[in-house]
Amino acid sequence: MASDLRLVEAVKATLGEEMARDESVVLYGEDVGVAGGVFRATDGLLDEFPNRVYDSPLGESGIVGAGVGLAAAGMRPVAEIQFQSFLYQGFAQLQQHASRLRSRSRGGFSCPITIRTPYGGGIHALEHHSESFESGFAHVPGLKVVIPSSPAEGKGLLAASIRDPDPVVFMEPTRLYRSLRESVPDDDHVIPLGEATVAEEGADVTVVAWGSMLQRTLSAVDDVDADVEVVNPRTIYPLDTDTITESVKKTGRCVVVHEAPETAGFGAEIVSRITETAFYHLEAPPERVTGYDVPVPMFAREDAYLPDEKRIAAGIRRAVET
Amino acid sequence: MASDLRLVEAVKATLGEEMARDESVVLYGEDVGVAGGVFRATDGLLDEFPNRVYDSPLGESGIVGAGVGLAAAGMRPVAEIQFQSFLYQGFAQLQQHASRLRSRSRGGFSCPITIRTPYGGGIHALEHHSESFESGFAHVPGLKVVIPSSPAEGKGLLAASIRDPDPVVFMEPTRLYRSLRESVPDDDHVIPLGEATVAEEGADVTVVAWGSMLQRTLSAVDDVDADVEVVNPRTIYPLDTDTITESVKKTGRCVVVHEAPETAGFGAEIVSRITETAFYHLEAPPERVTGYDVPVPMFAREDAYLPDEKRIAAGIRRAVET
Amino acid sequence: MPRTTVAEFSVESLEILAPDGSVDEDLEPSLSEETLFDIYRTMRRARRLDERAVALQRRGELGTYAPGTGQEAAQVGSAAALAEDDWVVPAFREQAALLTRGASMGSILAYAMGLEEGAETSAEDRALPPAIPVGSQALHAVGIGWAQAIRDEDAAAIAYFGDGATSTGDVYEALNSAGAYGAHTVFLCQNNQYAISTPRENQTRAGTLAQKAVAAGIDGIQVDGNDALAVYEATQRALDQAREGNPVLVEALTYRRSMHTTSDDPRKYREEEEEVDWDRKDPIARFEAYLRGRGILTDERVEELAAEIEAELEDAVADARETAAEADPADMFEYAYAETPPWLERQAAASRGGGDADGE
Amino acid sequence: MPRTTVAEFSVESLEILAPDGSVDEDLEPSLSEETLFDIYRTMRRARRLDERAVALQRRGELGTYAPGTGQEAAQVGSAAALAEDDWVVPAFREQAALLTRGASMGSILAYAMGLEEGAETSAEDRALPPAIPVGSQALHAVGIGWAQAIRDEDAAAIAYFGDGATSTGDVYEALNSAGAYGAHTVFLCQNNQYAISTPRENQTRAGTLAQKAVAAGIDGIQVDGNDALAVYEATQRALDQAREGNPVLVEALTYRRSMHTTSDDPRKYREEEEEVDWDRKDPIARFEAYLRGRGILTDERVEELAAEIEAELEDAVADARETAAEADPADMFEYAYAETPPWLERQAAASRGGGDADGE
Ligand SMILES: Cc1ncc(C[n+]2csc(CCOP(=O)(O)OP(=O)(O)O)c2C)c(N)n1
Ligand SMILES: Cc1ncc(C[n+]2csc(CCOP(=O)(O)OP(=O)(O)O)c2C)c(N)n1
Ligand SMILES: [Mg+2]
Ligand SMILES: [Mg+2]
């Protein structure tokens, strides 16, 4: 059985199911209780699990830090950070503790915390509400970084993240929260972390994209006179290098698309890995179609900042025509 | 005239000169006053400039955040963060404010703060004392990221950073603080930000390295049966892509060396840029010789984590022999 | 002395104007009629601006907007106490405080239209742009107030933040380091009872927010935040202390009468009764009664003012629309750095060309 | 009521054992002779461990080490008050507290040799590894204490941190959220007067650190931190409160008699006189006088103990050296994730092979 759900609904359903499945799962974060979260991703869960959903005081360092303690004491904390930008307030706890509790204790402890956070642009939000720092998080060993690109992935990847024994930053693309409906399995549906998927097969060029950029890529492809293969990594760290490499070995050309600024973005990592693993198959320089190296502008200029179908198509054309 | 100085001495001398040059320069940070800093990089400056050197309360968010205010009010704050790991505590202020004060005010304000921070491994320090997050900082538009690799660069780049109208994260390799002496010009010595330098010329392969890895690279080169060109970027952001590209166009081969974990490290950015700008000149896949994707281990295992001459030489050989 | 009391503290509360507009004459500050009228005028302007902004948002012309309705006395009363050289460091709901300091309605609307133009400020304005990350701006006010102390100048900085912000490490580090540095800083906490849906009781066990000052060893005072006179008076005194290097935390008790932002629905988390209760304590009605009692306001003047405000609003809307129409996206490249780095210049060129130019 | 006092607070201080060893009998806790001797014994072990560790560091066998000399009563007195199921969350100077909870000297030395083996702990040990980032660990103790509250269990967690840490946002967020969550958490602040070179007065204007609790609306108490009985008693009561969901901050006034760490030279920032002053208040001498007064200690027993400690130390040094000798660098790959990701596996393989294997 399956239901037609939006991403935010899939997230909520999954949270409920995982709480029912495992008593040690607790939800907390700013406004996740009574209000059900600013995007309503936890709506109704406080009623369903009265002693397991908590409104936290404001303060993201506190949220991440307390999560480390909850995890050490045997809970499976699922924290919501209201917008990804505010996870910077908790970055020290993430880097110094959540990611290292296992290694620092030589495996005596693990830190199975899941930090859910809406990310990315495209919904005309306030300043600081459109960040995508997946590359920075992926540069923190000990963390996993997961980004679903559809409602069904939202469910399968969130379930896997909550069950994962290591800390996961789970980044939910705000632009997809309500804009997309999809059939989502009602039963236990788990997508293993670290496995990419080929969203569209093609022979001429490989495009790697995630989050709301995946949808844009899929529609940009229609405008391009080439047979495009689209790979959706789903997990940013650990990255499924094999799937990407295989695709590039087949197509010989590659484009990476992401919202984050180009410099030191995760596109750089993907380009580097491809260049290392598929060098002799590359027929043209890999392309990056990304945000610019400027602070994400406020929303009136957001469209000019975010890669759109036109820029993506142009990037693909460059890769194909070179 | 010039003096033979160690890096930490060059830093101290430069701080004194810049304070003498510009009244609006103030120094502050934990233990920088009476004690002269944990590495003694500010030793004596409180006596010399009694009202312009301050011991701050413990708290890096407070240090960075107060710096934004000092800058807005017309000062040129130079803050010391005791070890780079603790800049994570101030990361939100760095990302949300220091880097954006200019863009958020449409140029009405600038944020000429310099954040000096010791970074990197190799001195058998405590846990969390050997971080190198230059890639994460470089992924924050609006910031500049500068890493000197010698005493003279320490002076020239620090002077440029303090005088720069934009915020600079100035990362000082702890391993070079006292291990290297060099002739440092006594006069005004400024190395413009954004300009790489060729540390050693060669024809067979380009190696890009910075911080304490530069010295290691220079000595590793002796063990390699190839004519190696070594490029020292000096500024991580903005990166002098042209100098690196030109070198790679000449040699056709490239190795990037850094301490930080490989994934999403700045090596990825350099490899990507090279692949974009010098694709048709590349004769072998670029190599990365870096830290591993694990939390920097405690010092007993540090040598196995940090790239050493052997690993660097092996990387160069792979690049040359492929 | 095996068991001794080593320190004692208390938190005082100040009220001057009762909800019905009657005044405690012993405490009444001596303000000119002009100043009093200005306070009233600005509160009214802010209230109408909120209404108009919400309407524009509903029509899709504005993005998310955070109304300050109900908090006008806390903002205008405090900002009116500032000297010309003093600095304002706002959070994201301080339209009323900014209007008091001379910001235009047009720029406020432009900001809500997602335009950086609306946040364009400089040292001459003595104001920082709005701050969205909760609590973060308190530290900027410390830096500014500390710069005044270092340069031995007289100016002070006022930081605005809410009840929710008092739970953040940044606000605490701000209070504490302001004390340590002797910064010329006043912290104006508008306790409007909610941080989005989270009621103040859930933020902290502390009975007052003013007592957060105790942790920093600085003075804290509570004030009726719907009483413009009390807020003015308390801020004035706090500024005087701050100019001497003694920072102060002022907790203004008020109520966010409207939604958190235009994306919020307060019905999810609070009862209408509570809202009605607070309606009766409205800061503008109270102040109006007081001014009428003193003969400063008449029906005529009130009507005149309303008409002026409508005209100002129309102009502001027109201005903001013009700013929007003229906004050049390429500005984002211009204001990232003083000098645009080459790789970014390349990106800018590619964006002009519509693609990314990589080629060798 | 125009100007009213709305809240009052006070901070109490507790002392039981005077520096000369004389006891306030009204307050003297009733501890068994065994417990008293154990406290003494552990303080002595910790002191000797410090001496030995510093000597080993000077010889190059250890890395940076942070001695707890002078703080033994604060650490052992508090840790001794914990129930078996209670959790310890240390900073980086809590060797004495960890010894009290059963950690071995060998593991402490191994940690100082830069070996993760020395920080190997698990839920069974009810202890987290040392925390270097100042203040950060206080939040972990909140999470642990909160988990107890959620599961309605009786255990509590104690977080150790210093005077410097009380300036950090993390410690404040910890105090505040512990109150908000009703966490079973006790915050044990060892005010040893310095954060590296920074004297406590420069950290904050607050006259006591116990009053930081006021900001969180939780109880704070000051205690003579060189008085093991007072620390025990205050911690005991604090734990009782915490088990009911009422977290408490205990400020133990003590002194870091030695250097900050082995890389520090206190002569840069403090006078010898001050040190001599505090020598007289030494926690071990005082406790020894008390135990001798009560007939629990004799010269013979003291000598016996000294010999036992030397033997323990020798074994510990041997153990640590053995751990060092056996340490496999490849462990770093094993403990990064529960399951090593493929790209990391590749790195591990390359590290074994001595190079990086990229090839297609
Ligand atoms: C650091 C940070 N965390 C979370 C948010 C999301 N957020 C925006 S406003 C708000 C509540 C703020 O409450 P308060 O400080 O009382 O100010 P008010 O909105 O009542 O004016 C939250 C949680 C944010 N902007 N910044
Ligand atoms: C977040 C952070 N900032 C800076 C440091 C460097 N540092 C190590 S110990 C210390 C002082 C700590 O003082 P206190 O909390 O009083 O503890 P004590 O050393 O006296 O035990 C500092 C600044 C650190 N470890 N962590
Ligand atoms: Mg509020
Ligand atoms: Mg201390």
Same-domain status, C133 and C220: yes
Per-residue pLDDT reduced to its tens digit, B129-160: 999 999 999 999 999 999 999 999 999 999 99
**Is residue C323's pLDDT more than 50?**
yes
Rounded Cα–Cα distance for residues A41 and A8 (Å): 5
Categorize the per-residue pLDDT at D256 as very low, low, confident or very high, splitting at 50, 70 and 90: very high
Q: Does residue C357's CB lie within 6 angstroms of at least one atom of ligand 1?
A: no
**Is residue D359's pLDDT more than 60?**
no
Q: Is residue C101 part of a domain?
A: yes
Rounded Cα–Cα distance for residues C110 and C119 (Å): 8
Same-domain status, D318 and D336: no
Q: Does A281 participate in catalysis according to the annotation? A: no
Per-residue pLDDT reduced to its tens digit, D136-145: 999 999 999 9
Work out the number of other CB atoms within 10 angstroms of the CB of residue A53.
24
Closest ligand to Cα B57: 2
* Topology given in CATH for the domain delimited by B197-321: Rossmann fold (3.40.50)
Per-residue pLDDT reduced to its tens digit, C258-309: 999 999 999 999 999 999 999 999 999 999 999 999 999 999 999 999 999 9
Rounded Cα–Cα distance for residues D206 and D175 (Å): 16
What is the model's pLDDT at position D360?
37
What is the model's pLDDT at position B68?
98
Q: Is B23 on the interface with C (CB under 8 A)?
A: no
Query: Nearest Cβ partner of D116 from B297, B303, B305?
Result: B297
DSSP letter string over D288-341? HHHHHHTTS--HHHHHHHHHHHHHHHHHHHHHHHHHHHH--TTHHHHTTSSS--
Same-domain status, D320 and D336: no
Write down the ipTM of this complex.
0.98
Q: Is residue C9 part of a domain?
A: no
Query: Nearest Cβ partner of A34 from C263, C268, C333?
Result: C268
Categorize the per-residue pLDDT at A223 as very low, low, confident or very high, splitting at 50, 70 and 90: confident
Same-domain status, C277 and C251: yes
- Write out the residue limits of the CATH 3.40.50.920 domain(s) in chain B: 197-321
Q: Please state, rounded to an integer, the average pLDDT across all residues of chain D.
A: 96
**What tokens does A160 get?**
């896997």
Rounded Cα–Cα distance for residues C191 and C309 (Å): 28
Question: Residues B30-35: what's their mean pLDDT?
Answer: 97
Rounded Cα–Cα distance for residues D106 and A236 (Å): 40
What is the H or E stretch that residue D42 is in? helix D33-58
Same-domain status, C303 and C360: no
Same-domain status, C296 and C345: no
Same-domain status, C319 and C335: no
CA D263 to chain centre: 20
Buried b (16+ CB within 10 A) or exposed e, A198-217: ebeebebbbbbbbbbbbbbb
Domain that residue C152 falls in = 25-327
Categorize the per-residue pLDDT at D358 as very low, low, confident or very high, splitting at 50, 70 and 90: very low
Rounded Cα–Cα distance for residues D168 and D358 (Å): 44
The residue type at A257: V
A289: nearest CA in chain C? C356
For ligand 4, an ion, list residues with CB under 5 A. Answer: D 162-163, 192, 195
What is the model's pLDDT at position A132?
97
Q: How many CA atoms lie within 13 A of C279 on its CB side?
A: 7
pLDDT above 90 coverage of chain B, percent = 99
Work out the number of other CB atoms within 10 angstroms of the CB of residue D152.
8
What is the model's pLDDT at position D357?
46
Counted domains in chain C:
2
In whole angstroms, how far apart are CA D300 and each of D55, D286, D304?
A: 27, 18, 6
- Residue (of A232, A216, A220) closest to A156 by Cα position: A232
Question: Residues C43-47: what's their mean pLDDT?
Answer: 98
B 59-118 residues inside an 8 A Cβ radius of A: 85-86, 88-89, 91-92, 95-96, 99-100, 103-104
Nearest-Cα distance to chain B for A221, in Å, is 22
pLDDT above 90 coverage of chain C, percent = 97
What is the model's pLDDT at position D354?
52
What is the model's pLDDT at position D1?
53
Per-residue pLDDT reduced to its tens digit, A25-77: 999 999 999 999 999 999 999 999 999 999 999 999 999 999 999 999 999 99
Rounded Cα–Cα distance for residues B196 and C67 (Å): 50
Q: Does residue C134's CB lie within 6 angstroms of at least one atom of ligand 1?
A: yes
What is the model's pLDDT at position D317?
98
Nearest-Cα distance to chain B for D26, in Å, is 39
**Is residue C360's pLDDT more than 60?**
no
Same-domain status, C323 and C355: no
Q: Is residue C158 part of a domain?
A: yes
**Which of D172, D221, D246 best tests the C interface by mutation, with the highest count of C CBs <10 A?**
D172
Categorize the per-residue pLDDT at B223 as very low, low, confident or very high, splitting at 50, 70 and 90: confident
C contacts of D202 (beta carbons < 8 Å): 180
Q: Is residue C338 part of a domain?
A: yes
The residue type at B234: R
Q: Is residue C192 part of a domain?
A: yes
Q: Is residue C187 part of a domain?
A: yes
Exposed / middle / buried, residue C98 (Cβ in 10 Å: 0-12, 13-18, 19+): buried
> Whose structure tokens read 């969390």?
B128
D31: alpha, beta or left, given left = phi > 0 and alpha = psi -120 to 50? beta
Per-residue pLDDT reduced to its tens digit, A95-125: 999 999 999 999 999 999 999 999 999 999 9
Which CATH number characterizes residue D120's domain?
A: 3.40.50.970
Same-domain status, D322 and D344: no
Q: Please state, rounded to an integer, the average pLDDT across all residues of chain A.
A: 97
Q: Is residue C252 part of a domain?
A: yes
Q: Is A91 on the interface with C (CB under 8 A)?
A: no
D contacts of B177 (beta carbons < 8 Å): none
> Whose structure tokens read 């001050």?
D274
CA dihedral C311, C317, C319, C320 (to 10 degrees): 160
Cα-Cα end-to-end distance for chain B: 47
**Is residue B1's pLDDT more than 90?**
no
A contacts of B269 (beta carbons < 8 Å): 263-264, 268
Question: Residues B240-251: what's their mean pLDDT?
Answer: 98
What is the model's pLDDT at position D2?
80
Same-domain status, D293 and D345: no
Categorize the per-residue pLDDT at B115 as very low, low, confident or very high, splitting at 50, 70 and 90: very high
What is the model's pLDDT at position B133?
98
Q: Is residue D129 part of a domain?
A: yes
Per-residue pLDDT reduced to its tens digit, D35-94: 999 999 999 999 999 999 999 999 999 999 999 999 999 999 999 999 999 999 999 999
Q: Is D168 on the interface with C (CB under 8 A)?
A: yes
Query: Do D20 and D12 touch, CB atoms closer than 8 A?
Result: no
Same-domain status, C199 and C170: yes
Q: Please state, rounded to an integer, the average pLDDT across all residues of chain C.
A: 96
Q: Does residue D196's CB lie within 6 angstroms of at least one atom of ligand 2?
A: yes
- Residue (of A141, A67, A62, A65) closest to A104 by Cα position: A141
Put simply, the answer to whether D206 touches C212 (Cβ < 8 Å) is no
CA B218 to chain centre: 17
Same-domain status, D345 and D203: no
Q: Please state, rounded to an integer, the average pLDDT across all residues of chain B.
A: 97
Per-residue pLDDT reduced to its tens digit, D268-297: 999 999 999 999 999 999 999 999 999 999
β-pairing, D3-14 with C3-14?
antiparallel
What is the model's pLDDT at position C359?
39
Query: Nearest Cβ partner of D64 from B36, B57, B126?
Result: B126
Put simply, the answer to whether C5 touches D11 (Cβ < 8 Å) is yes
Put simply, the answer to whether B86 touches D133 (Cβ < 8 Å) is yes
- Write out the residue limits of the CATH 3.40.50.970 domain(s) in chain A: 2-185
CATH number of B2-185: 3.40.50.970
How many angstroms separate the alpha carbon of residue B100 from the centre of ligand 1? 20
What is the model's pLDDT at position C354?
52
How many angstroms separate the alpha carbon of residue C195 from the centre of ligand 1? 6
**Is residue D113's pLDDT more than 90?**
yes
Question: Residues C131-135: what's their mean pLDDT?
Answer: 98
What is the model's pLDDT at position A308?
97
pLDDT above 70 coverage of chain D, percent = 98
Q: How many CA atoms lie within 13 A of D331 on its CB side?
A: 21
**Is residue B219's pLDDT more than 60?**
yes
